[in-house]
Amino acid sequence: MSMFEQLTNRERVFEFLAPEASPVDVRHGPILYLEDVNVSFDGFKAINNLNLTIDDGELRCIIGPNGAGKTTMMDIITGKTRPDTGSVWFGSRHNLLTKSEPDIASLGIGRKFQKPTVFEALTVFENLELAMATDKRILPTLTAIMKPEFRDRIDEVLEMIGLKQLRDKPAGILSHGQKQWLEIGMLLMQKPRLLLVDEPVAGMTEQEMERTAELLTSLAGKQSVVVVEHDMGFVRSIARQVTVLHQGSVLAEGTMDQVSNDPEVIKVYLGEEA
Ligand SMILES: Nc1ncnc2c1ncn2[C@@H]1O[C@H](COP(=O)(O)OP(=O)(O)OP(=O)(O)O)[C@@H](O)[C@H]1O
């Protein structure tokens, strides 16, 4: 084929026209990397020279008193808030500060907000099916049901979130805890590389908390999980590495025992209770 024919060959997608390669490159470093990040709201520094790295497959808990900057940090990672300065990388390839919120989600960063937002009138199965559909306007049953790999993924996720027996029940009848698991399942349908989970056990019963601990620890390894949580008992039950945020910076990092014996951390938490 001549050069002219090659250039005019419509079948061929030239590399510069192809969508950006999405694999997250973690061969030489962490899956998430924040360096010297700063954010001010009307002159108030919510995030102050924040440095944070999350390794591939890690389960990290982020704690910190009210107003420490935990939500703002999650907003920066997902592209909802843009920092004034600093760098935020997803693997070594993706500079998240140049990407939109939907692009960041499609790169494989899923976020679970505190309040569950499942579709109550749809069954558990249909909720998962809907999460799989890229175009939410199309009733996914029409397309997804045709593809056996979608069904397999739904079965796999139902197993993971422990809702197999309830697959054909409307999500509206689920308990608060079960709705939270379903929503985690909806995120898992897209096979994210990094899951950000905001206060997963708020309002849960003791038993639901135990089940959530099992679910989150079972996810780690397969994907990286960052959990923001106020419930210290829960954090202790799942955490390997804990990061303590205070006034928009990392105050301490280590195991739960290390951080809870850190005099600076004790001072900050006692200050909050006083
Ligand atoms: N859009 C905004 N405009 C002004 N101030 C903001 C905005 N978002 C956050 N802040 C402030 O930034 C600080 C950090 O807030 P952030 O919500 O990130 O803390 P947090 O650690 O998540 O707190 P909590 O544990 O109470 O949820 C707070 O003082 C908050 O009032």
Say which residue the tokens 């390794």 belong to: 55
pLDDT value at residue 114: 82
Cα–Cα distance measured from residue 150 to residue 114, given in angstroms and rounded to the nearest whole number: 27
Report the pLDDT value the prediction gives residue 19, as an integer from 0 to 100.
43
Cβ contact 35:87 at 8 Å: yes
Ligand 1 pocket by Cβ (under 6 Å): 41, 44, 46, 64, 66-72
ipTM greater than 0.90: yes
The verdict on pTM exceeding 0.80 is yes
* pLDDT tens digit sequence for 102-135: 999 989 999 998 887 899 999 999 899 888 765 5
User: Positive or negative, the Cα torsion across 70, 76, 78, 79?
Assistant: positive
Domain that holds residue 71: 18-118+174-273
In a domain, 133, yes or no: no
Question: Is residue 123 situated within a structural domain?
Answer: no
Domain assignment of residue 52, yes or no: yes
Q: Is residue 131 part of a domain?
A: no
Residue 228: per-residue pLDDT: 96
Greatest CA separation for the chain: 79
Nearest CA, atom 7, ligand 1: 41
Ligand 1, atom 30, lies closest to the CA of 67
- Which residue has the CA at smallest separation from atom 29 of ligand 1? 67
Lowest-confidence range among 80-84, 147-151, 212-216? 147-151
Indicate which atom in ligand 1 lies nearest the CA of residue 64.
21
Q: Is the pLDDT of residue 7 over 80?
A: no
- In the chain, the amino acid numbered 119 is F
Residue 146, domain member (yes or no): no
Residue 36: φ, ψ to 5°? 45, 50
* Distance from residue 111's CA to the centre of ligand 1 (Å): 18
Contact in structure between 201 and 193 (CB atoms under 8 Å): no
Query: What is the CATH classification number for the domain harbouring 60?
Result: 3.40.50.300
20 confidence band (pLDDT: 50, 70, 90):
very low
Residue nearest to atom 6 of ligand 1 (CA): 41
Quote the pLDDT of residue 17. Answer: 42
Return the residue whose CA atom lies nearest to atom 31 of ligand 1. Answer: 67
Question: How many CA atoms lie within 13 Å of 154's alpha carbon, on the beta-carbon side?
Answer: 23
Examine residue 12 and state whether it is found in any structural domain, yes or no: no
Q: Distance from the CA of 46 to the center of ligand 1, in angstroms? A: 6
The number of domains in the chain is: 1
Considering the domain boundaries, does residue 228 fall inside one? Answer: yes
In percent, how much of the chain has pLDDT > 90?
Answer: 70
